[in-house]
Structure 1
Amino acid sequence: ETMADVRYEIDRIDRLLVEILAERQSFMDAAARIKPDRSKVHDATRIEDVVTKVKAACEGAGLSPAIAEPVWRTLIDRCIAYEFGSYDARRGGGDVNS
């Protein structure tokens, strides 16, 4: 009804997104632990697969692909950077990204 109501709901959703992204990040740590070779961290085929699946999910959810695709490409890019840091930290090559 009001802008305060709208902002409250946006803030609520943002808190949920933070929780979901933290869960996603935990799987970057798992991937870094499992992958036997650093060269496997960046997988162009997997990136396009993820983006394709997200765009397909947009249709049923009513999310504009013009919003989703750049958001997911940025998310994937940052997750890969995080995974490189996690991979290196596990093998004595540096700290996990913050």
Structure 2
Amino acid sequence: MVDLLAERFAVVEEVVKVKQANGIPALLPDRVEEVVAQVEALAAEKGLPPGIAGALWRTLIAETIAYENARL
């Protein structure tokens, strides 16, 4: 999991650059809800509790947004 997080945050560094260049805020509430809904649907397909997957993803998103905000 740590390796996957490291990969994700390498991508986040690139996202920050794009957001800076285009004046896009770190938090896009509609996008958050879209992503969480997709994750919960995928979890359900795989037999996992959607609420747990959604909660974990919301935590990951919140930490990512905080990380982005510190750099924007």
What's the RMSD between the two structures over aligned residues? 1.3
How many residue pairs get aligned? The number is 70
- Confirm whether residue 24 of structure 1 aligns to residue 47 of structure 2: no
- Aligned-residue offset at 1:86: 2.6
User: Which of 1 and 2 has higher RCO (CA within 8 Å, sep 6+)?
Assistant: 2
What is the aligned partner in structure 2 of residue 40 from structure 1?
25
Structure 2 residue runs without a partner (length 5+): none
Please show how residues 47-86 of structure 1 align to structure 2 within 5 Å. Answer: 47-86=32-71
Work out the percentage of aligned pairs sharing the same amino acid.
37
Most deviating of 58-67 and 74-83: 58-67
Letter in 1 for 2:3: E
Please show how residues 84-95 of structure 1 align to structure 2 within 5 Å. Answer: 84-87=69-72
> Which of 1 and 2 has greater Rg?
1
Tell me the TM-score normalized by structure 1.
0.65
Structure 1 residue runs without a partner (length 5+): 1-16, 88-98
